[in-house]
Amino acid sequence: MQTTVVITGATRGLGRLAALDLARKGARVVAVARDPEKAERLRAEADVEVLLADLARPADVRRLAREITDRHEHVDVLINNAGLHAFTPRTTPDGLPEMVAVNYLAPWLLTRELLPALRRAPAARVVTVASEAARRHGGLRLPEDLTETVPFTARGSSAHYGRSKLLGIMFTLELARRLAGTGVTANCLNPGFNTTGLGRELRFAAPLEKLLTRLSIGDPARGAALIVALAADPAFAGRTGGYYSVPGARPIRPVPPADDPGLRARLWRETERLLDG
């Protein structure tokens, strides 16, 4: 039976490489994109289904989930890959900090809305792309960090980005606990340093990416391969609650406070209250 894989952020960088690889391996790939032109280019490269959505808007995430479940009886793999590092503070039309909305709230909500379809699969996997940037999170305040929009500089953006990735790790570990024994596994990964989309909001990003590529620094194939392994490798069947990194899919210990089960559970409750309130 053909495996159905949903992957966000699939038109560039790691997501594109992973989507193309999974399609070549015979999966039915449902690629979620924001930009219609990039979506068409991806469709021209491989036999994939493309759905458009603005992951910064919870209402659009819910619509996306309904569209997926209307089209597909079950989902075997959900890859939460889409991410954003903004170098200036931006607020979504719903009043949310954009990096938190895209990097954390969207994966949380899309996963929850697709859980019935994931449970209908014989064995399903949720894979979330995190980052070791989480180690520079600068502290966590709940529930304030889910909604507060505060000014920051390009240099100060690292802590906000790291915090949004920390939330993704905490979400994954709590999801794994909640899904224990259901046949649905949840793991996250650090794809390492990658040149694709590197600081794309910075004016010098394009020449820097070309230079690093020539020097063979930040090869995105490594990170994409880890995404594909967690999504499809039989070696990871049944394995849940892990945080893995390149090289070699090695397990790593999450940075505090991601190792606090009580705080992970509180984060889940606060997120639920925010999105359902």
How high is the pLDDT of residue 138?
A: 82
Check the CA dihedral 128-15-206-86 and report its sign: negative
Q: Looking at the whole model, is its pTM more than 0.85?
A: yes
Q: Does residue 161 carry a catalytic annotation?
A: yes
**pLDDT reading at 185 higher than 70:** yes
Angle formed at CA 131 by CA 206 and CA 67, multiple of 5 degrees? 85
How high is the pLDDT of residue 215?
A: 39
Percent of the chain whose pLDDT exceeds 90: 80
How high is the pLDDT of residue 212?
A: 40
Q: What is the mean pLDDT of the chain?
A: 91
Whole-Å CA distances, 99 to 91, 102, 116, 149, 160: 9, 5, 27, 10, 8
Percent of the chain whose pLDDT exceeds 70: 91
Catalytic residue from among 104, 161, 243, 244: 161
CA 180 to chain centre: 21
The average pLDDT across 109-123 equals 98
How high is the pLDDT of residue 219?
A: 76
Residue 192's pLDDT band (cuts 50, 70, 90):
confident
Between 63-77, 184-198, 203-217, 224-238, the lowest mean confidence (pLDDT) is in 203-217
Is 130 in a helix, a strand, or coil?
Answer: coil
How high is the pLDDT of residue 168?
A: 97
Name, in order, each residue with C-beta under 8 angstroms of 92's C-beta and a sequence gap of 6 or more.
56, 57, 98, 101
Q: How far apart are CA 54 and CA 36, in angstroms?
A: 11
The average pLDDT across 148-158 equals 87
The average pLDDT across 227-249 equals 95
Residue 134's pLDDT band (cuts 50, 70, 90):
confident
The average pLDDT across 164-171 equals 97
Residue 203 backbone phi and psi in degrees, to 5: -65, -25
Check the CA dihedral 115-117-121-125 and report its sign: negative
How high is the pLDDT of residue 196?
A: 56
Block residue for tokens 């954009």: 98
pLDDT digits (tens, 9 = 90+) for 80-101: 999 999 999 999 999 999 999 9
How high is the pLDDT of residue 223?
A: 93
**pLDDT reading at 207 higher than 60:** no
**pLDDT reading at 136 higher than 90:** no
Is 187 in a helix, a strand, or coil?
Answer: strand
Check the CA dihedral 93-99-104-107 and report its sign: positive
pLDDT digits (tens, 9 = 90+) for 241-260: 999 999 889 999 999 999 99
How high is the pLDDT of residue 153?
A: 85
The average pLDDT across 104-124 equals 98
